[in-house]
Amino acid sequence: MEAILELMEVLNRNNAKGLGVHKQKKQTTILGDFYEKIRTGEINSDEEAAELILNCDPSAMRYRKLKNRFKNHLIDAVYLVDVKQQGYSELDQAYINCWREWVGAKILFNRGAAKVGVEVAQKVLKQAEEFQFSELLVNITRILRLYYSTRSPDLHRYEYFDALYKEYVSLWQAENLAEELYVGLANAYHFYRGENLSQSNEARCAFETLRPLMAKHRSYHFLRHAYLIHIAALKAEGQHSAAVDQCQEAIQELGQFTHISALSLNTFYYQQLVGHIHLREYPQGREVAEYMLAYEAPGSFNWFKNRELCLLLAFHTNNYLEAWTIFQGTVKLPAFRLISGLSAEHWKLYEAYLHYLVFVGRLQLEGKPEGRSFRMSKFLNAVPNFTKDKSGMNVPVLILQVLYLLAQGSYGKAANRMESMDRYQRRHLRNNASIRLNIFLSMVLTTRQAYFHAVACQRHTKILCEKLQAHPLQISGQGHELEIIPYEDQWAMVLDTLKRNK
């Protein structure tokens, strides 16, 4: 049923008319009924479909046959998509039309109508060249080269298409190489987000492999991946200022492709914004965020991602009141209620840190001090995935628990939670996996050894503070999403609360 629901999402009512599912013929009425009940939301599962349409079990053979026939009708309708309707960019229209017409040309070649097939192929070739559809260009020039060498020998045209074929094969191979190197790095990042010199070396080696090809292959697809790899290398090496500059260069270069929408460049604006977070450059980062926001539909995934990064930017630049404003503006959006899973837990975590800021006096709000009504137990129940995640997102949760207890003066309870922090550090932070995190946890654990005395804590953590400053966020490789508020700022708040509770 998931496949059918997915197909229904991409087909509008006009497309469905081409399905033969409406009341055109008696034998298609049942398909029309199937279609209407899904469209109106009456059917969302195989169980509902089997019962409402055939009054049988979903495992019954007659239901499975009907479901398969209906799915095939939907797939057939995909070829009838009207690309002139709203929501299809110029690139989308060209891509769908080119491949649709190329399929027609292949059918004509197969059925012996080669002359017409050549006409269609050459027509598609012109548009494919304009939009740099390299895979399609390889297929078309290969067939045309074959046609003018065997079916209708023409030396001049054969040499022309042979040269084009070799040129496009070279481009296609370069694009595939760039994509392969990029997804390899993306896959490594997905499974490991801490500091890792090997990632830096891999990204640098990948870019150096592509660098010599950048002058020759000026396609959007190739350059996009090459720039993303270079930015990844710079970030892994801690050169965040250079990464921001490289993002700007990529935006300018790729923006010259007339068929690429401004929205397609948001990937680089996103990386640029992350760079400003690392560099703690609030005005520049906010300018980028607001520019990106103009291209996002309120309530969309990218809109929420933009707000999340803007919130982190405010956290990292001590603009806590601005962070509160961004948070409140986001959670009040009706679409926010639809957020679930890990995304929802991220926002719960940000809310908890905002309450902590209120509690320790770093965020002044008018009216009731809402931070004091914060309940840690309720928060922990709201982030079940984070609390179980031993590879990353449990860290800010664990830190926040300890910081809250220290701020409350509950030193006995804080010492107990530090046992968990100590075990986590010994078991999961090995081989300098995260230098900043290791240092900061050691600083927090020192408060117990110093009997929670502020002056003693400052004295015992002097060397650790120097080490932390020697590995600032912008050169550490530490994921900005793990360090909600810079550790230097969190440590300053710890010392303030210890002094106040003395």
Please report which confidence band the pLDDT of residue 131 belongs to, taking 50, 70 and 90 as the band edges. very high
Are the C-beta atoms of residues 422 and 454 closer than 8 Å to each other?
no
- pLDDT at residue 141 tops 90: yes
- pLDDT at residue 472 tops 80: no
pLDDT at 386: 86
**Burial (Cβ within 10 Å: 0-12, 13-18, ≥19) of residue 192:** middle
- pLDDT at residue 116 tops 70: yes
| 247-262 residue pLDDT tens | 999 999 999 998 888 8
pLDDT at 9: 77
Amino acid at 234: L
Give the distance from CA 365 to its chain's centroid.
Answer: 33
Cα distance between residue 280 and residue 310, in whole Å: 12
pTM for the whole structure: 0.79
pLDDT at 195: 45
403-433: b (≥16 Cβ within 10 Å) or e:
bbbbbeeebeebbebbeebeebbeebbeeee
Tokens of 315: 């956290």
Once rounded to an integer, what is the mean pLDDT over residues 42-47? 88
User: For the chain, what are the domain ranges?
Assistant: 2-78, 90-184, 340-502
| Closest to 440 in 3D by CA, of 493, 362, 378, 384 | 493
Cα distance between residue 182 and residue 175, in whole Å: 11
Tokens of 463: 């060397």
- pLDDT at residue 371 tops 50: no
- Output the CA–CA distances (angstroms, integers) from residue 193 to 2, 36, 268, 448, 478, in the order listed: 32, 46, 20, 29, 8
pLDDT at 236: 84
- pLDDT at residue 309 tops 50: yes
pLDDT at 297: 86
Please report which confidence band the pLDDT of residue 25 belongs to, taking 50, 70 and 90 as the band edges. very low
Average pLDDT, the chain: 88
Give the distance from CA 203 to its chain's centroid.
Answer: 19
pLDDT at 431: 53
